[in-house]
Chain A
Amino acid sequence: MQFFQSVLLRLSTTFVTLLGVAVIVFFVIRVVPGNPIAMMLPPGATESDVTRLTALYGLDKSIPEQFLIWISGVIQGDFGTSITTKQPVLQLVLNRLPATLELSVMALIIAIILGGLMALTGTRLRGTKTEAAIDVTNGMALSVPDFLWGLILILTFGVLLPIFHISGRVTPSLQLPFTTNFYLTEAVLRLRFDLWLDIAAHMFMPALALAIPLAAIIGQLLKQSLKETMHLDYVTLARTKGYSETHVILHEALPNAILPTLTLVGVQFTFLIGGTVIIERLFSYEGLGNMAIDAVINRDLPLIQGIVILFAVIFTGFNLLVDLTYAALNPRLRHA
């Protein structure tokens, strides 16, 4: 009962957050310079053309009035129409969302594998030169931002050694039998591993660029927790029982050391989704982030609003999910 109440409370604060985001994005993009009408009209358009088009899009009304019209539409699930493409914003955004989600999840998986391997190898070989090398690699991975990794990857594995595709989501000449936009997932479900390979080869580099800094954070934290756990008596005791060092790390230390890392992954995943904006642009990947940059360039106000709201929904929704998972896993939080 108490759990249910706290869920309700948490949900209502989520709605307040989303409303705040809506207000801020709506007013900010109207205050900054740039006029969508001016972007649409050809040079030499008359004053009356401008006035007519402004009225058509409702941009002649006062800003609070525009906000009320927009927000009442949003509540009914109508996010307006994109100024540049003349398509419903909701449909545009939802079409792109799967691409970004697949990219983020792939990046997260790569980050967990890389970070986990670094932490486990570093712990297994602690005190050796290899551990020092891992620490240095970790520091480097951490201090270079994701978009720079993107550029480095493009230059090395796209240009010098053309192994992976450097742009797009799939080779354009391929026939796609998909009904949803979750290409990578659907390729597996339809057992089209030829397509899966092509899509994965397109996604690998942007996902890796996103994953490297996160892998470094995961590797660092997990290694630190493992180090602390390795000093505990039950780990030493497992050694006196005659277990191998690898067994001791994997079975005694890791399960107890992994919790702080899981917490971190939950928080970092939302940052990773934010990172997709620049990375998608860099790799011409047809996701939400790329669309967001186009929308800003074209001053496509309804589309910008729609994308920002969707990002906010993903962020708050994911945080809500993380909080609820903790509450469910940790009895102390549940009754707090």
Chain B
Amino acid sequence: MAEQPIKVVVGKPGLDGHDRGAKVVARALVEAGMEVVYLGLQQTPEAIVAAALEEDADVIGLSILSGAHMPHFRRVKELMDQQGLGDRLLTGGGIIPTKDQETLSGMGVGKLFGPGDDPQMIVAYIREWVKEHPRA
């Protein structure tokens, strides 16, 4: 049986309009053979997690460059845990200071990427993570 492609929900929570990075990454993931559900702008954490649930996604990727990363990542992670998606990867990128990345990592959020990081690093990270965390 053919292997299922990795499914990634990509969204921009909050009011940040900078979608260049999210779009470039979404395309790189597709070219790497993953399935991407691109939600676009102005998403609430609730809508993002609902989409991930409906799509049975392996990964949620958030892009935030506006400085509002803490409450959004926190809320999305909470909702994932509550709705039975605690075993899926929450990752993302934007302008996120190292200190905040560490706090988020302590809450179970995956690796976060920043300016200058190559999209291929994200592809490799997601592949590796999914391989190491087979679904029960």
The answer to whether A and B assemble together is no
